Chains A and B, each alone.
Chain A
Amino acid sequence: MSGKPIPLQPAYVLHQRPWGDSSVIAELFTPEQGRLGVLAKGAKRARSPWRGQLQPFRPLLVAWRGRGELKTLTTAEPQGQALALPAGRLASGFYLNELLMRLLTREDAQYTLFGCYDATLRALASDRDEALEASLRRFERDMLSALGYGLILDHEVIDGRPLSAARRYHYLIERGPVAAEADLAAEGIPLLGASLLALQQGEFTTADQRREAKRLMRAVLAHYLGPRPLASRALLAGPPAPVVATEKITTD
């Protein structure tokens, strides 16, 4: 009924939700099929070999059968060592997963993007704090280009002149950078040529470049994500600073 068995494929779990008493529906990310919904029968049973395996940020090898929208998971085993994401970086990981859940259509091959995702998760597990932001920006940049929304980061969109690091530009969403003096510029996101070039390189040298690249990415992603905000951003921001506790210190 299910055709030929599919050889094991690398995969990450993006999200999972309970299904019935003992099963889960997992949303997988695979290179060959992109985002893929699978039913993992009995995954929550005490003796299930999948118990504890179908977690985000864990490299897996999986196989499934079925032809419908929702496949049935037949095999899932860990591939190599689990990535040890420090607890403080989990929110960044959720951010990547939320982007992929929101922007990827199901069953659309994503070889390059899978590689980027894998590399970014490994960077989250091992990067120093200063390098973290650049890793996230590179992922956003590469994800947009894999989805066909790639940014133009090296030339002006109107006359094709190469960008100059010292000049100011306005980035028009879905078009590209224009010189700050151009007629269209008013609607765009203002930033320095150096920030666009740094984003293209994926390496930032100043705090200004980091800030401008982040603001550009936020605006571009907001355009494709629509009005519903990303829930993982609230987590990334961390808990609000304690107001009462500081008062306590001063009054004590």
Chain B
Amino acid sequence: MEFSPLIARLMEDLRCLPGIGPKSAQRMAFHLLEHDREGALRLAASLAEAVEKVGRCTRCRNLSENEVCPLCANPTRDAGLLCVVESPADVRAIEQSSAYRGLYFVLMGHLSPLDGIGPAEIGLDRLQARLDEANLREVILATNPTVEGEATAHYIHEMVLARGIASSRIAHGVPLGGELEYVDGGTLSHAFAGRRSL
């Protein structure tokens, strides 16, 4: 069956969302048009407004419609601690699960020379300015435990060290509730190298 041009276009456009194939796009389109036209209008308006207004926070580079995002502007956060992460999703994960009360810096990626992503592309000039201006006590490097994430952490560690600020790397190890037998070798060797005395 052929869809009319507008419906076909809607389905095609919905497929720009991650994980949405032709079948799901069709379901979404029909749902919006048959059952929830009001929701569809709200969605359209939110999308248009968000795309127009959301930019990057000038302090942490996280997504925000304000020049300084609420997290950076919050006076109760500890301004002496800075946590460097790769993506906005990482900020959210840390905010939801840990007692961390410091500030963030979001790289929006990691160093990846073979993809042509160097220090400038992940905003390290901005981070450098931040390291120079603020009275930081400690920078926590929470990039992913991939090869690129480690290389990124090391590069930033050198920047931080040169300014006489303490830097630390988040621990890698056995997941809670996991069994050693099933943990991969790389993680296990990290867990041993990073063991703590009790």
A131 touches B (CB below 8 Å) = no
Q: Evaluate contact between B159 and A239: CB separation under 8 angstroms.
A: yes
Tell me the dominant secondary structure on chain B's binding face: helix
Contact of B147 (CB < 8 Å), options: A57, A230, A238: A57
Within 8 A of A (CB), among B126-184: 128, 131-132, 146-147, 150-151, 153-159, 162-164, 184
Selected from B111, B115, B154, B184, the residue in CB contact (under 8 A) with A52 is: B184
The distance in angstroms between the C-alpha atoms of A14 and B147, with both chains bound, is 11
Contact of B114 with A97 in the complex, beta carbons under 8 Å: yes
Asked whether B75 is an interface residue with its Cβ less than 8 Å from the other chain, the reply is no
Whether A234 pairs with B118 at a CB distance below 8 angstroms is yes
A238 to B147, CA, bound (A): 16
A98 at the binding interface (Cβ < 8 Å)? yes
Q: How many residues of B sit at the interface, in one of the four size bands?
A: 20 to 34
Closest to A17 in B: B115
In the assembled complex, the Cα of A146 lies from the Cα of B189 at a distance in Å of 35
Q: A56-B147, A234-B119, A239-B155 are in contact. Are A82 and B186 (CB under 8 A)?
A: yes
B19 at the interface (CB under 8 A from A): yes
Q: Within the assembled complex, what's the spacing in Å between the Cα atoms of A53 and B186?
A: 9
Q: Is B18 an interface residue (CB 8 A)?
A: yes
Chain B residues within an 8 Å CB radius of A21? 18-19
- B124 CB–A CB distance under 8 Å: yes
Interface stretch (choices A29-37, A86-94, A197-205): A86-94
Q: Is B5 an interface residue (CB 8 A)?
A: no
| B155 partner, pick from A93, A230, A235, A248, beta carbons under 8 A | A235
Q: Which of B115, B128, B147, B156 contacts A90 (CB 8 A)?
A: B147
* Contact status B189-A232, CB under 8 Å: no
Among B119, B151, B187: residue with most chain A CB under 10 A:
B151
CB of A87 within 8 A of CB of B153, answer yes
For the complex, what is the distance from the CA of A136 to the CA of B146, rounded to whole Å? 23
Closest chain-A Cβ to B100's Cβ sits at a distance in Å of: 23
| Interchain CA distance A98-B129 in the complex, whole Å | 30
Chain A residues within an 8 Å CB radius of B18? 21
In the complex, what residues of A have CB within 8 A of residue B186's CB? 52, 58, 78, 82
* Nearest chain A residue, comparing its CB with the CB of B193: A84
Is the CB–CB distance between B147 and A55 below 8 Å? yes
The digit string for A17-46, where 1 denotes a CB below 8 A from any CB of B, is 100010000000000000000000000000
Q: Which of B124, B131, B162, B189 has the most CB of A within 10 A?
A: B162
From A55, A82, A231, A239, B146 is in contact (CB under 8 Å) with A55
Chain A residues, Cβ within 8 Å of B113: 91, 94-95, 98, 230-232, 234-235
- CB under 8 Å from chain B, chain A span 3-24: 14-15, 17, 21
Within 8 A of A (CB), among B9-66: 18-19
Known: A78-B186, A235-B111, A235-B151. 15 other contacts (CB 8 A): A15-B115, A52-B184, A55-B147, A58-B186, A81-B185, A90-B147, A91-B113, A91-B151, A93-B147, A94-B151, A234-B113, A234-B119, A235-B113, A241-B162, A242-B131
Interface residues of B (CB under 8 A from A): 18-19, 111, 113-119, 124, 128, 131-132, 146-147, 150-151, 153-159, 162-164, 184-187, 189
Q: A residues touching B (Cβ–Cβ < 8 Å)?
A: 14-15, 17, 21, 52-53, 55-58, 78, 81-82, 84, 87-88, 90-91, 93-95, 97-98, 101, 230-232, 234-235, 238-239, 241-242, 244-245, 248
Which 3 A-B pairs give the minimum distances between C-beta atoms? Answer: A87-B154, A231-B113, A232-B113
For this complex, 10 residue pairs linking A to B, each with C-beta atoms less than 8 Å apart, are A53-B184, A82-B186, A90-B150, A98-B113, A101-B114, A230-B113, A235-B113, A235-B118, A239-B128, A245-B162
